[in-house]
Amino acid sequence: MKKSLFAVAALSAIAGSAQAQSSVTVYGLMDLGYVGYNTRQAGQGTGGNTVNKTTGNAFSSSGESTSRLGFKGTEDLGGGASAFFTVELGLTPNNQQSVNSGATQNRQTFVGLKKNGIGQFALGTQYTVVHNAVAATDPGQANNIAGNLIYPAITEGQGGQDNSTGAGYTIRTNNQLSLNSETFAGFKANAMLVMNNKNQNETIVSAGTTTTTTGGLNNQNGWGLGLDYTFKNFYATANYQALTSKQSTQTVNTTGTTIATYMPVGAPTPGYAGASSAGGTNVQDNQWYVAATYDFGILKAYAQYITRKVSAQQNNSYYLNRSAEQIGVRSFITPTIEAWVSGGLGRYTGYGSNAANMTAWQIGSNYWLSKRTNLYAIYGQAGTSNATQPTSINGVSAASTNPVSSNVSNYAIGVRHTF
């Protein structure tokens, strides 16, 4: 009997020791409130001038931050080494499916190892080096309301977001190996490698003037490097990432009247758009981001610049290029009231001919009820003007009713709780 009691006590001690060396945390965020928006598009085409307007309002979700549910854990392996993991899902709390079933459901899922004094690595679906840098240097903290050219978005109703957050840069990727160093003399290095290759037998079917190809390559690869520097109240970051998508030719139709049939196969389709992790279509996608912040004590100042060029693999003269610069400030007006304001200018060019100018500004405030709960109010505007497009593509007329200007105003009042 005594031996049994001693055995039970020993097992309990071992179990307690094991539990003390590892931990699992459930965390999340719920963001709901009132959202409104107004959009206006004006264009000129073969049928004359057009003006389209849309107005909406709803009790919606994720105005300031995307609602989420996550699990993360660490285990002490001894000798300064540890293992860690994260599983994070997007939530749509006022939708029929509370767990987001869209492309952003898997926000992050990865496992890795860390060594104190050296750094860490992780494998899985993760944020890119550029997005991690944006999250640390954006005055609006990458919220989901219009008015930000670095992280462009617009939140509508019905538990969803009609946004283009993937327009500025790639937010996350699947099949990623991330590497992050410790900080040495103020410097911290970050890197990522994306690898997803598939090759299979190719079948070519010809019918008249249409050639259809199946199989072949479907390779989604990429890499990225980032360097952060911190000195007292100053922080700066420089990041570059390049993503390549290669597929075999799918379909080429040399007859017909639509513009799309005359574009080279694989004309730039960036991929990873709208925060999705889906690959592009035969493109080389290069993205730069540099930013700096300085904390003056009474306020924090921000400066950001981003540029992205997506080129067709078959012909790099077919490209989409987007660049933007933005400045802003963020400050606690009182111990419980926080406010920020930002403004930016940008430029878009495509296929070497069509172009547009972009402007945006945003103002917002948080009222902190506690460390985990806050009320927020955000208002932003974004616009595109002087948009033009090529008169022809591969010798074919490209006239259409494509808008020459567009504007959106977006606002939200809500409550956000983290747990």
191 vs 177: CA distance, rounded Å: 8
> Residue 363's beta-bridge partner residues?
341, 379
Whether this prediction's pTM lies above 0.85 is answered by no
Q: Does CATH place domain 24-418 in 2.40.160.10? A: yes
Could you tell me which of 186, 334, 351, 171 has the C-alpha nearest to residue 259?
Answer: 351
pLDDT of residue 165: 67
pLDDT of residue 122: 98
For the chain, give every domain's residue range: 24-418
pLDDT of residue 281: 72
**Which residues of the chain fall below pLDDT 50?**
1-20, 46, 103, 159-162, 251-277, 392-401
Amino acid at 353: S
DSSP, collapsed to helix, strand or coil, labels residue 303 as strand
- 123 CB contacts (<8 Å, ≥6 apart)? 110, 111, 112, 176, 177, 178
Residue indicated by tokens 């989604």: 220
Long-range contacts of 392-401 (CB under 8 A, 24+ apart): 393/259, 393/262, 393/263, 393/351, 394/262, 394/263, 394/264, 395/262, 396/259, 396/262, 398/259, 399/45, 399/46, 400/45, 400/46, 400/259, 401/43, 401/44, 401/45, 401/46, 401/47, 401/50
